[in-house]
A and B are shown apart, each in its own frame.
Chain A
Amino acid sequence: KTYVIVSGNVACIRRLNGTHQVGCSSEINGNVGVLHYINDTDSLNWLINSGPHQPYVALLTSLNFNRDTVQQLRNSKKITGIIVIHTDDSATTPLPDSFSPADKCPGDLYGLYHNNQEYGNCKKVTWNEDGNGMFFEDFEFPISIVTNKNETDYLINNCYLKFNQPTQGVPREYPLCAVQMKSRMAAAKDSETCIRRTNTPTNLNPDKYCDALGDKNVIGFFKDVPEDYKPEKKSIILAMARMDSYSLFENIYPSADNQVSGIVALLAAAEALRKYKDHFDNTTKDILFTFLNGEAFDYIGSTRMLYDMDKGALPLKLKMDHIDRIVEVNQLAYREGGKIWIHADPVSRNDPNISSEINDMISTILDIGKNLSDIVGAVDQTQPLPPASTQKFLQKTLVPALVLTDHKKTFTNKYYNSRFDLAKTISAMVNASDNGYNHVTDQASNLTVAATLLARSLYTLATGSPAPEGLMAEQQSVTHMLYCFLISPNCDLFKQVIPPAREAFDDLASQKSPYPFYVSVYGQINNVTRIIQRLLTHYIGTVEKNHTESCTSSEKASLQLYNYLWMAGPLNSDNKTRTVTCVKSRVTQTKAYSPAFEITDYNGWGGFQYSTWTESSWATNALLLRVFLIPSKAMEVGLLCTGIFFILASLGLVYFITRKSTSLFSLDNEIEMTPR
């Protein structure tokens, strides 16, 4: 009767790294503030200059939730929380021109050009021009988004307009409508401190304050090899993409351009190459398809992979000198000038061998591109590499490396690492009534060409011969993958590759929204990693018909040459049952967990060697948003004083009555005045 709970709310959470805490948190019992809806500068100025009922909670639209407004609100010291409207409906949530909470030079501190005078600190190109850096700010109040349109309407109409909206600038009288935002984060200060606190139990029920970010990388060797295979030096081509990103709000990690577009292109290229696997033998190089996780958080996956290489912990005891060259796929959806752009590292060009190999690679790819509607171009040679995992590998050993992205200079993605990097923003979504699983969008057809380019380039780089005409990516696969990754995972493609167990199917069927592309906390299941491992197995593996004893249902990390996975399989002709298949491949997982958390007494927390990111933990009922009315102070105090008066007066009165009870109550059947 008193509270209206807003259930569709998603909070901004707190994360920590080696030196700072970033994100938001509320007080233990939540932050209570009078709701004020800001949809234009007038209402913003009213709040900052004239609002008398502080503290306020500001309700912002998607257009005015930007660094400038938030900073103004913070400086006024009148607000105790911010709510942002973010629904699916584009009328209530219009797309801003740009919004990127990442910084302007992502990954620079941990990248190849850190401390480099010429290329470091984005001297040549500011990669993320639209970056406002809000992800790395430490807010002293909670910020949440409300995703349900009915609830946002309730907040605006039944709460703000009804009780709080000032009439011609004059503030309203109590009772006012207020909001309580609870999102209490347990961790504070920085990763080192909170890991230390977590590891120092003070009672029998120890608390966990934060968890390290991390998950698994997915790697898959392409070539079919004999049992006694040992790779030779410079015999492997690394084909990489990253699997994760972030945004300001929990579980909203759509990552359409960064980096589903790259993942889809690489997987489609893998599928295309599969038909020509027999062209790969002991005279050709091998391709290692690598999907790295945690890259958005200072390169967790790639750093760990290099660390494992040193320790010999990777399959085949893989080391950097086995790697011949690197091709990385980055964002591919907003192609500048309709082309994909090839970036190379100018520092490695100082070595003339590497320089000439780079030039060969670029010309190979440009030639292939000419046959594919001229889809590719090369950037200026003096330009450094954009933020990419390649930078970490080059930090170790310089090899010829290329990064393919959709931008020539600065990012064309105006929503880098934000909640707006959606399917509809990259034109991969239609409002078709059949949900468009088979509908080929513009983005799908363009990405197919990109995947073909990638496949043919990898073929040529590995075998040294021109790619066959038939080597093309499947448009169906690209369309399906875009749908499954960006719109709904409850799709036929995913249903084919998941384990044949009932729980896996039910789990998939209950998913209402796309899988979040976030590395998440180490130890927690990351659906994106699992599904990419299964897709890669499906695309480059072979169906094993006979020796199915070694087939397992769950994905594990293994050092064996071949791995066998059970999959639910394709639909039979009756459209109801599936034929369970066992797929043999060289795909496996490797750890993507920062060595900083494994090395005992690590003291490089302030340095830039290993990623130090952790995520705060919170209690199970710690996230809450509810709406109610608050009374005026006068009414509250008045009621309290009345109560106190009542109790004191009645105590006095009753005492008086009991003292005088013999004279007040004289009874005819009173026995005697009994002395007490």
Chain B
Amino acid sequence: MTVMEFFGCTFIAFGPPFALFVFTIARDPLRIIVLIASGFFWLLSLLVSSILWYAVVPLREQLVFGLVFSVLFQEAFRFLFYKLLRKADDGLQKVSQTGQEMHMTPRDITNKHIMAYVSGLGFGILSGAFSTVNVLADMVGPGTIGIYGDSKYFFVATAFLTLSFILLHTFWGVIFFNGLDKKQYYMVALVVGSHMLLSCLTLLNQRTSSRDSPLYLASILPAYVMTVIMGVLAYYIAGGSLANVRSCFPCGNARKYEID
């Protein structure tokens, strides 16, 4: 009855993004729109990568080729979305001012990191969805993976890797947009470079002729290390600091009028 595996892996992979969505995005229609739009841009990048893969017939079996170009296309579309979002700033300002609704604060526009975060999350959710949905669908039946010799940890590894990629896309969104805003191009290069590195590490998940069992840890551990690093970096960029974190915890200093 691997329906249990199905729910377990779904919750692992999509639990944190779901939580992020519920508490930070769901209440604000503008953020939802930007989320969906950035997801759509990710889908476009997938479309372009698949056209390229389909067109180059002799290299179809070589995963590396498709993978490298897919990463490049994803980052290219992230850049395009950045351009779109900045151009739309003026329009969004007008929309939020005429509304006078409580949830449409100009803060969403003036604090550039919020939209960067939302767009990164959108990218991440769509990318996670497309990489795991077919695996999840296979899990619903009575069997689990392995009869062809695959490792039994395939489902677990997929779930954890998906989760780390979703979070990574979120953080990369913040860093990328900030780098372009402040013209700190080394930040952009950092994002692209780390994305490429991690994706290539996941190639180690394949079973090759020389090695029959995949090395899941060789891709999962670096992925989580990278997630933490990127997370900290994004936090600093967004205005956080160690002092802020420490100020949250001694609950004696908690302000009574906590306004969000």
Q: Give the B-binding residues of A (Cβ under 8 A).
A: 1-4, 30, 32, 158-159, 175, 177-178, 180, 626-631, 635-644, 646-647, 649-651, 653-655, 657-671, 673-676
Contact = CB atoms under 8 A, between A and B. Distances in A.
B245 to A, nearest CB: 7
Interface-central residue, A30, A639, A664, by most chain B CB under 10 Å: A639
The 5 closest A-B pairs by CB, nearest first: A628-B143, A643-B11, A647-B15, A639-B8, A643-B8
B11 A664 contact: no
A494 B106 CA distance: 87
Given A665-B235, A667-B239, 18 more contacts: A1-B145, A1-B148, A2-B147, A4-B147, A178-B142, A178-B143, A628-B144, A631-B2, A635-B152, A647-B16, A650-B15, A651-B22, A653-B16, A654-B20, A660-B248, A665-B238, A669-B110, A676-B259
A2 B4 contact: no
Given A175-B146, A178-B143, A666-B244, A640 B16 contact: no
With a 10 A CB-CB cut-off, give which of B2, B24, B105 has the most chain A CB atoms.
Answer: B2
Interface in B122-173: 138, 141-148, 150, 152, 155-156, 159, 163
Given A629-B143, A654-B23, A647 B1 contact: no
A58 to B, nearest CB: 18
Contacts of A638: 8
B7 A640 contact: yes
Contact of A643 (B12, B113, B147, B239): B12
Which of B11, B22, B145, B241: most chain A Cβ within 10 A? B11
Chain B interface extent, by class: 35 or more
A251 B105 CA distance: 73
18 contacts: A1-B145, A30-B142, A175-B144, A177-B147, A627-B147, A628-B147, A629-B145, A629-B152, A630-B2, A640-B4, A640-B5, A640-B7, A649-B15, A662-B260, A664-B240, A667-B239, A670-B239, A674-B105
Contact of B141 (A2, A627, A674): A2
Contacts, number: 166
B185 interface: no
Contacts of B142: 30, 32, 178, 180, 628, 630
Nearest to A646: B15
A163 to B, nearest CB: 8
Contact of B244 (A2, A636, A641, A663): A663
Interface in B218-260: 235, 238-241, 244-245, 247-248, 258-260
A178 B107 CA distance: 58
Given A627-B147, A630-B142, A643 B106 contact: no
B260 A659 contact: yes
B148 to A, nearest CB: 6
A658 B23 contact: yes
B12 A676 contact: no
B23 A629 contact: no
Contact of A2 (B10, B144, B241): B144
A380 B10 CA distance: 77
Nearest to A675: B259
B15 A629 contact: no
A4 B22 CA distance: 40
Contact of B9 (A30, A643, A649, A653): A643
B186 interface: no
B247 A637 contact: no
Contact of A175 (B18, B152, B245): B152
Contacts of B51: none
B239 A665 contact: yes
A664 B248 contact: yes
A668 B239 contact: yes
Given A2-B144, A669-B110, A639 B156 contact: yes
A647 B19 contact: yes
Given A654-B20, A658-B24, A2 B138 contact: yes
Contacts of A32: 142
B233 to A, nearest CB: 14
Contact of A646 (B2, B11, B22, B155): B11
A159 B110 contact: no
A275 to B, nearest CB: 64
B111 interface: yes
A649 B20 CA distance: 12
B258 to A, nearest CB: 7
A650 B19 contact: yes
A477 to B, nearest CB: 52
Contact of B16 (A30, A158, A650): A650
Contacts of B144: 2, 175, 628-631
Contact of A664 (B18, B102, B244): B244
A267 B15 CA distance: 75
Contacts of A675: 259
The binding surface of chain B is classed by DSSP as: helix
Contacts of B10: 643
Looking at B102, B113, B240, which has the most chain A CB atoms within 10 Å of its CB?
B240
Q: Considering residues B24, B113, B146, which has the most beta carbons from chain A within 10 angstroms of its beta carbon? A: B146
A658 B260 contact: yes
Contacts of B238: 665, 667
Interface string B82-118: 0000000000000000000010011100110100000
Contacts of B156: 639
Contacts of A659: 258, 260
Contact of A647 (B11, B102, B138, B244): B11
Contacts of A666: 239-241, 244
B260 A2 contact: no
Contacts of B138: 1-2
B138 to A, nearest CB: 5
A636 B111 contact: no
Contacts of B260: 658-659, 661-662, 676
Contacts of A653: 16, 19
A588 B242 CA distance: 98
Given A663-B248, A666-B239, A675-B259, A643 B146 contact: no
Given A636-B4, A654-B19, A3 B143 contact: yes
Contacts of A676: 102, 105, 259-260
B2 A636 contact: yes
Given A636-B2, A646-B16, A1 B244 contact: no
A655 B23 CA distance: 6
Contact of B107 (A180, A635, A643, A674): A674
Contacts of A671: 106-107, 110
A650 B142 CA distance: 29
A159 B149 CA distance: 11
Contact of B143 (A2, A660, A662): A2
Interface centre among A4, A643, A658 (most CB of B within 10 A): A643
A673 to B, nearest CB: 7
Contacts of A1: 138, 145, 148, 150
A643 B16 contact: no
B248 A670 contact: no
A390 B107 CA distance: 98
B248 A651 contact: no
A667 B8 contact: no
A649 to B, nearest CB: 8
B106 to A, nearest CB: 7
B152 A642 contact: no
Contacts of B22: 651, 654
Contacts of B5: 631, 635-636, 639-640
A646 B8 CA distance: 9
Contacts of A177: 147
B178 to A, nearest CB: 12
A540 B260 CA distance: 100
The residue in B5, B156, B241 that gathers the most chain A C-beta atoms within 10 A of its C-beta is: B5
A174 to B, nearest CB: 9
A378 to B, nearest CB: 61
Contacts of A667: 111, 113, 238-239
Nearest to A658: B23
A182 B7 CA distance: 25
